[in-house]
Structure 1
Amino acid sequence: MGNRKYILVFLLVAVAYRGNAQSVNTFDQADSVSNAQYLAGNWQQLLATGKVAIGAGFDSPALRQRLGYARLITGDYSGALKDYDVIFKNDSYNTVARYYAYLCHKYLNQELSASYNAAYLDTDQLKTEKTSSYGLINTGIESSLKVNDNTYRGTSSYTRVYLTNRLSWRWQLEQSVAYFNQYITGSTVQIPGAPLLATISSNDQQLEYYGKVSYSLTENLQLMAAYHYLNTNYQTVTYTGNMGLFGIKYSGVRFTLQGDVNMGSLISKHINQYNVSLMLYPAGNLNFYTISRGSYIDQNNTGTDVFSQIIGYKLLKNTRAETSGTFGDMNNYNDADGLYIYNAIDPTKLRLGETIFQPIGKHLQLQLNYTYEQKHDDTHSLNYNQHSITAGLLWKF
């Protein structure tokens, strides 16, 4: 009996190393072979065995648990979430699967979905992850300088500070305050009662507040609402802008789909903007991904289309980069869930950019961005180029 036991173990390990998934012919065999491969850390062979076993109808929560862990270890976080979702259909309180699902969402930068799973974790696991139903998620600052080749436009600056916190396991709040400033040389006009022509110049100054609340209906389905207030001072006149956003987001296997609408007013213009965006991450992680977004902007019954494309990729071991392009008339264009509103004096016609994300230690991340823009000065009927450099620091709690 003792010799049979050792022979059986030897055969199972041999199968594990060979990855002979075709030999899985019974439920017990699928369970024993996959477990041997799991214990040996042969993740690719385990995934091959799991595929054959599930195709043959030999599925089980234990097999899904092993497959989910194998995918997590090999960096296929989206694939692992698919396995854990199968477990949750019959056992929504499986804390082991919930913990690994929590980690997968964190690695995909899906904080609200991670929080949804954290609600199922026990006290010890929450202490290990240093998380709670209410607390800070991140805080940061970004600042940029924008230079151009238009003699009528000075260098502009933009600074934003922001904070994101968890209100509960299903509610998340993002807030930021921003300030924009640019010196503008206006048109030469005749001043009433004056013998000479005069050029009106002014600082274009803008103070902004942005708030966005998100709610997780399920692990993969979220609702969001945002409000953006703008206070603009230009040539002794103060303008106020109010924009709102309502949207829905669904995270599937290796994709995220979002639809939203921006509504409000900016400098006497009523604006409705409709957006659809699709994010694809074919490998189940952020080593390579694309984000495509189409927008239709209706301003006082005049419509324009804007399309943006982002390609993200792993540049070095811990360094990620994004190459982006936005095409179309970006006059009063709302971007990034209404966070950025392009309502400058001169509309942008083309925007190309490159961003680098570099972690510094466990909690700090440095962000550097270069953006090239083609803009049009309506007052002087000329096109010009603008270059901006943005630096940001993000602290993750």
Structure 2
Amino acid sequence: MQPIKLVIFCFFITLATHATAQSPFTYEEANTKSYALYEKASWKELLDYGREAVLNNQDFTLLRLRMGYAAFMLNNFSEAIRQYEQVLKNDSYNSTAHYYIWLCRKYLNQTELADAQVRYLSPEVIAEAKLRSFAFTDANIEASFKTTNSSFRNNTNYEKIELKNRFGYNIHMQQAGALFNQSILLANALRPGAIPPPPPYRTASINQSEYYNKITANMNSHWQLKAAYHYTQTNTDNTIYNNQSALVGIKYFNHYFDIQADAIFSTITDTSISQYNAQIGIYPFGNLKLYGFSTAIIRNRPSGSAFNFRQVIGVQISKKLWLEGNTTLGTFTDLLENDGLYIYNQIDKNLFKAGLFGYIPLSSQCTFNMGYTLEQRVLYNTNNTFNQHSITGGLSWKF
């Protein structure tokens, strides 16, 4: 029996040796072929081959660097980040990996998180990009004209100016100032449910000035902390309201999605309101050709709780045009959006809100946007609905 066991053992050793010799996924083969595909600029084939090689236990820095660059050239920035982060697991100071993660985050419009990579960049890259630890990074102006089909609500104007800067590469500040004004007709003798409100009427002017400040702190290459403060002074009907809102939140960035949870505590027209938001952003192709943000909102006020849902979907139509649609479902009179930047503290209950915006890059640093928003509201103290139409335009600069 002993010779038979020896023959069987030798047979399996020979078979295993032959199989290994025939495998296309030795280190030498994977290195040679991936380099050849890199030289041919066969990016998709290189990425597919690299994934197969990794599954067959050939995982090394040069291969991941080539796969990351292939994904970058295919404009799949999320996949590129994934590959370059694999490089950093074995070589945490690899400047090439940090450089392309920095670029990919910027191309995904995650510019604040991109700065977390700057301390690893070479002096030559920092000098060429003219990066400074303290700098003004963005400026934005926005104006909106609103009109309604109700004779009880006159036209509205809203203007906002915004400035962003960074303190070091992990602390960013966003500041904004805004003005809002409108005149409305109110009935002197209020009769709930009347359609329309009974005369006599008086004109009430609403003038609101706003200041907003948000701090974003990079905890590492995937996590951010946020804190924001929004002050509004509202003058209406001979009464002045000093409204204040404070936001605290945390955000996690994965490769193809990000998640944010935040809470906003406000005092609006002498009413204490709390708002809790849970948001997920998705980039299915690893770029901004298609993206979406879904936000679930719970609001608590003394009169009760309410739920709202906000959906944003953006798509690249052409090289120079992005379209972005949004809708907010659920009724509200007090609501804060975009990290508390926009505050809806109107007298009329909002039943529905939806809009469509277009973004056109005028240069590598300047973008023009214009959009339309439709809101369906209920006239205060009645059951009468009306529509508000908004045209908004803006310019943004990156320094």
Tell me the residue number matched to 1:7: none
Note the 1:304-323 alignment, pairs <5 A.
Answer: 304-323=306-325
Distance 2:201 2:232 in 1: 27
Contact 1:186/1:379, CA 8 A, preserved across alignment: no
Q: CA deviation at 1:23?
A: 6.6
Is the radius of gyration larger for structure 1 or structure 2?
A: 2
Distance 1:345 1:301 in 2: 15
- Please point out which of 242, 250, 253 is paired with 2:252: 250
Note the 1:161-200 alignment, pairs <5 A.
Answer: 161-189=161-189, 198-200=200-202
- Please point out which of 275, 293, 302 is paired with 1:291: 293
Q: Is 1:154 aligned to 2:141, yes or no?
A: no
Tell me the residue number matched to 1:334: 336
User: Aligned letter for 2:134?
Assistant: Y
Structure 1 segments, 4+ long, off by >3 Å, are none
Tell me the residue number matched to 1:45: 45
Tell me the residue number matched to 2:209: 207
Q: Deviations over 1:36-88 (max 9, x none)?
A: 11111110110111011100010011111111111011010001001111111
Q: Deviations over 1:261-283 (max 9, x none)?
A: 11121011111101101111110
Distance 2:339 2:332 in 1: 15
Note the 1:1-397 alignment, pairs <5 A.
Answer: 24-189=24-189, 198-300=200-302, 302-397=304-399
Contact 2:185/2:204, CA 8 A, preserved across alignment: yes
Contact 1:119/1:133, CA 8 A, preserved across alignment: no
Of the structure 1 ranges 85-94 and 137-146, higher mean CA displacement relative to structure 2 is found in 85-94
Fraction of identical pairs, as percent: 34
User: Aligned letter for 2:184?
Assistant: I
Q: CA deviation at 1:362?
A: 2.0
Distance 1:382 1:367 in 2: 33
Which secondary structure state, in structure 2, belongs to the residue aligned with residue 85 of structure 1? helix
Distance 1:150 1:345 in 2: 14
Distance 1:306 1:198 in 2: 36
Normalized against structure 1, the TM-score is what? 0.91
User: Aligned letter for 2:270?
Assistant: S
Q: CA deviation at 1:301?
A: 5.3
Distance 1:88 1:347 in 2: 52
Q: CA deviation at 1:371?
A: 0.4
Tell me the residue number matched to 1:9: none
User: Aligned letter for 2:284?
Assistant: P
Distance 1:290 1:124 in 2: 36
Q: CA deviation at 1:218?
A: 0.9
User: Aligned letter for 2:390?
Assistant: S
Normalized against structure 2, the TM-score is what? 0.90
Q: Deviations over 1:231-250 (max 9, x none)?
A: 00001110011100011111
Distance 2:157 2:383 in 1: 24
User: Aligned letter for 1:164?
Assistant: K
Contact 2:263/2:275, CA 8 A, preserved across alignment: yes
Q: CA deviation at 1:200?
A: 2.3
Distance 1:24 1:110 in 2: 39
Of the structure 1 ranges 170-179 and 380-389, higher mean CA displacement relative to structure 2 is found in 380-389
Q: CA deviation at 1:126?
A: 1.0
Contact 2:333/2:347, CA 8 A, preserved across alignment: no
Q: CA deviation at 1:206?
A: 0.4
Q: CA deviation at 1:30?
A: 0.5
Distance 2:115 2:242 in 1: 36
In the alignment of these two chains, the number of paired residues is 370
Which secondary structure state, in structure 2, belongs to the residue aligned with residue 109 of structure 1? coil
User: Aligned letter for 2:348?
Assistant: D
Uncovered stretches (5+) of structure 1, i.e. residues with no partner: 1-21, 191-196
Distance 1:24 1:43 in 2: 19
Which secondary structure state, in structure 1, belongs to the residue aligned with residue 332 of structure 2? coil
Distance 1:343 1:80 in 2: 43
User: Aligned letter for 1:174?
Assistant: Q
Q: Deviations over 1:334-371 (max 9, x none)?
A: 10110111101212110110010100022110010100
Distance 2:110 2:301 in 1: 33
Distance 2:100 2:303 in 1: 49
User: Aligned letter for 2:97?
Assistant: A
Contact 1:189/1:200, CA 8 A, preserved across alignment: no
Distance 2:99 2:77 in 1: 13
Q: Deviations over 1:274-302 (max 9, x none)?
A: 11011111100010011111100001151
Q: CA deviation at 1:202?
A: 1.6
Which secondary structure state, in structure 2, belongs to the residue aligned with residue 331 of structure 1? strand
Q: CA deviation at 1:380?
A: 3.8
Distance 1:23 1:287 in 2: 39
Q: CA deviation at 1:198?
A: 4.6
User: Aligned letter for 2:161?
Assistant: V
User: Aligned letter for 1:136?
Assistant: F
